[in-house]
Amino acid sequence: MLENNIEIKGINPAELFGVNNDKLKYIQSFFPKLKIVARGNIITIAGDKEVMDEFQKKFDLILRHFHRFNSLTKNNIDNLMTEDGSELLNSQEHKDVLVHGNHGAKIIAKTINQKKLVEAVNKNDMVFAVGPAGTGKTYTAVALAVRALKAKEVKRIILTRPAVEAGENLGFLPGDLKEKLDPYLMPLYDALREMIPAEKLADMIEFGVIEIAPLAFMRGRTLDKAFVILDEAQNTTTMQMKMFLTRMGMTAKFAITGDMSQIDLPRKQRSGLAYALDALKDVEGVEIIRMGEADVLRHTLVRKIISAFEKLEEKEKNDNQDNNDN
């Protein structure tokens, strides 16, 4: 009987194998002649070489699937264990590529809700993506915009954010207008730089094929033949949100992203994003995708931080409610 160790890299084994290793046990059910033991991020397998080789192939598919989608279900395992499991995964990879970034990097939807966002944009002209930091809302939306531009579905990309941190009054900041605005728009630049070579991106911005501007610059315009993204939408007022949404031209795509836990507006001022989500929830042609902790693709601590904040906020909310009742 041979023995081999497999090291799991870049994945939390607890997330991969589930509670009490139930998914690992399910995987093992396909290899009854193999002994499998998991300790931390090391899996030890023992058995005949032929069976071990087959397990290694299938386990590699499982790891690839988890890296891509950040989830694993028993149905996924069933599909990957079939003879054409590798072919299925490769076809999914090709299908899920949104755009090829710099140096041939494949930019894909990695989580279930990111895939839902892609499907929603494919079906609707206006989509809201709401969720905490690190869930890929803006990044996925920018990738979809670049894809639409490359496919000539739109003639330009317009990216905008409310510069609420400066109250949209940027006059007191040093430098020319671009220098004043760039710090607020940097996340949008960062996403674009991963998808478009620097020189080409500079030319596209110079000639207006890609426009990055604060929300105040949208007033009075009709945005047509364009993929338009409003980022940090939780920091719009209701009037700003109405102004933006009514800029939509006949052949435009609108994606609105935001995080309701990071509102920088004055306390008594209602977020335009909250207002829009409530007002448009039943409007045909508008879809709302809500992302959560499971979609966070940053450092594992980010998930824990989001969860801890949500628990404390819920506790404080309940405590305030009890005080009001008394």
Q: Where are the alpha helices (DSSP H) in 44-155?
A: 49-69, 74-80, 85-96, 112-123, 137-150
Instruction: Please give the pLDDT value at position 207.
Output: 93
Spatial distance between the Cα atoms of 269 and 131, rounded to a whole number of angstroms: 20
CATH number for the domain whose boundaries are 100-295:
3.40.50.300
DSSP output for 207-241:
TTSEEEEEGGGGTT--B-SEEEEE-SGGGSBHHHH
pLDDT surpassing 90 at residue 259: yes
Q: What is the DSSP letter of 135?
A: S
Amino acid making up residue 101: G
With CA atoms as reference, report the closest residue to 108 among 148, 85, 136, 84: 136
Strands in 253-258's sheet, in edge-to-edge order, are 210-214, 156-161, 226-230, 253-258, 126-130, 286-290
C-alpha separations of 123 from 118, 127, 249 in Å: 9, 9, 17
CB within 8 Å of 141: residues ≥ 6 apart: 117, 121, 129, 229, 231, 255, 257
Tens of pLDDT, residue by residue over 150-172, are: 888 999 999 998 876 444 444 44
Map tokens 């990044």 to a residue: 139
Give the model's confidence band at 186: pLDDT under 50 very low, under 70 low, under 90 confident, else very high: confident
DSSP output for 162-179:
--GGGTT--TTSSS-HHH
Spatial distance between the Cα atoms of 25 and 38, rounded to a whole number of angstroms: 10
Spatial distance between the Cα atoms of 201 and 204, rounded to a whole number of angstroms: 5
Average pLDDT of the chain is 84
pLDDT surpassing 60 at residue 108: yes
Spatial distance between the Cα atoms of 256 and 236, rounded to a whole number of angstroms: 11
Cβ(257)–Cβ(233) below 8 Å: yes
pLDDT surpassing 60 at residue 177: no
Tens of pLDDT, residue by residue over 217-251, are: 899 999 999 999 999 999 999 999 999 999 999 99
CATH number for the domain whose boundaries are 2-82:
3.30.1370.10
Spatial distance between the Cα atoms of 96 and 120, rounded to a whole number of angstroms: 14
Q: Which helix (H) or strand (E) holds 200?
A: helix 198-206
168 class by beta-carbon count within 10 Å (0-12 exposed, 13-18 middle, 19+ buried) = middle
Handedness of CA 143, 145, 148, 151 (dihedral sign): negative
Sequence spans of domains, the chain: 2-82, 100-295
Whether the model clears a pTM of 0.75, i.e. scores above it, the answer is: no
Q: What is the DSSP letter of 295?
A: G
Judge if 2-82 and 100-295 fold alike in CATH terms: no
